[in-house]
Amino acid sequence: MKGVVSLRKKLPLRAVLILGAGALLLAKSGTVAEGIRAGIRVCLEQAVPALFPFLIFAEFFAVSGVGKILAAPFPMLERLLGFPRGGASVLLLSLAGGYPAGPKMLAEFTRSGRLSPTAASSMLCSCVNVSPAFLIAGVSVPFFGSIQPGAVMFGCQIAASLAVALLTRLFWGSFWKEPSLSKNYTPPPMVNSFVHAAASGGKSMLLICCYVLIFSAFSALLAPLPYSQSWIGFLEVTLGCAGLGAFPFWEKVVLATAFTSFGGICVWMQTAALLRDSGISMKKFALMRCVHLFVSLFLTIFCFKRMPLPAEVFSSYSTASVLRGSATAASAALLILVCMMGLLCGGKCDKI
């Protein structure tokens, strides 16, 4: 009864907020449309080329059961970090594939019963990472004129993720004695695994693009506020990094590190969407993300002050970085092959 009364009290406030949002959309429709167009460019030129292949690969990796091959050389690392056996594969792919790859794999392992939600909640703290492709090709080269700053920042964020994993083990215990991620698991046929991964990766990519568009529109509304370029990256990381060219060298270093380490509220909401119905909690992640940000900033500034850097990284210019693809006979043949696999698999992949 108390819950019903509380809900009735909240309804007027919700109605005001929803109606206010609708009125703002009507009043600023041009600004919102421009933000959506900017978000579409981000999706087509950055998000989809950088993330979509790794989303499919992460899902295929988790479903096909080959994760034990990648994790095999790292048993001591798993024991040190308190990961279940086979868990190193999640950390390694999250470092290679970018923000969604780790949560995608953790959700799949948990839903299939190979990983407990408690262990996955702890692993999540260190398995949401920026990809080297975005940090180097999307930040370092266009805004610093060199690969080296991006490589240094990425190395510092790897160290920060390892530090967070160690602290997570210290605070919440080790899960190394849990059953291996590959124990008692019979993977489906490879064709079924791939078709399932392609379908699941496509759905996840569409969800991510939806959040990018929402936050792009929201960021466009907030752009007129003072110093918006200094904090907009904490809402949507790609839009924040796109404005780094307006800052001097050290401010670029601090903001680029802060934006990519924190990930942005947009990435957090994408992570929450990928973890939906998996039982994985983000409470530990929210706390330890602040630790990841602090450690990344400290290590990056420390390394930049002590490493010789090429002169061009101190320049104030910036260039646009656009990722482009090409249609070839080989890609057309591959597309036909994938379609044939989908037809042969039929509805079986839905049962995975």
Q: What pLDDT was estimated at residue 339?
A: 42
pLDDT beyond 50 at 330? no
Share of the chain above pLDDT 70, in %: 80
pLDDT beyond 50 at 323? no
Q: What pLDDT was estimated at residue 258?
A: 95
Concatenated DSSP letters for 86-130?
TTHHHHHHHHHH-TTHHHHHHHHHHHTTSS-HHHHHHHHTTS---
- Provide the whole-model pTM: 0.77
Task: Quote the CA–CA distance of 336 and 88 in Å, as a whole number.
Answer: 34
Task: Quote the CA–CA distance of 186 and 241 in Å, as a whole number.
Answer: 43
Task: Quote the CA–CA distance of 151 and 140 in Å, as a whole number.
Answer: 8
Residues for the chain: how many in total? 352
pLDDT beyond 90 at 124? yes
Q: What pLDDT was estimated at residue 329?
A: 46
Token digits for 244?
């780094």
Task: Quote the CA–CA distance of 204 and 52 in Å, as a whole number.
Answer: 9
Report the SS3 class of residue 61. Answer: helix
pLDDT beyond 60 at 314? no
CA atoms within 13 A on the CB side of 276: 6
Q: What pLDDT was estimated at residue 333?
A: 46
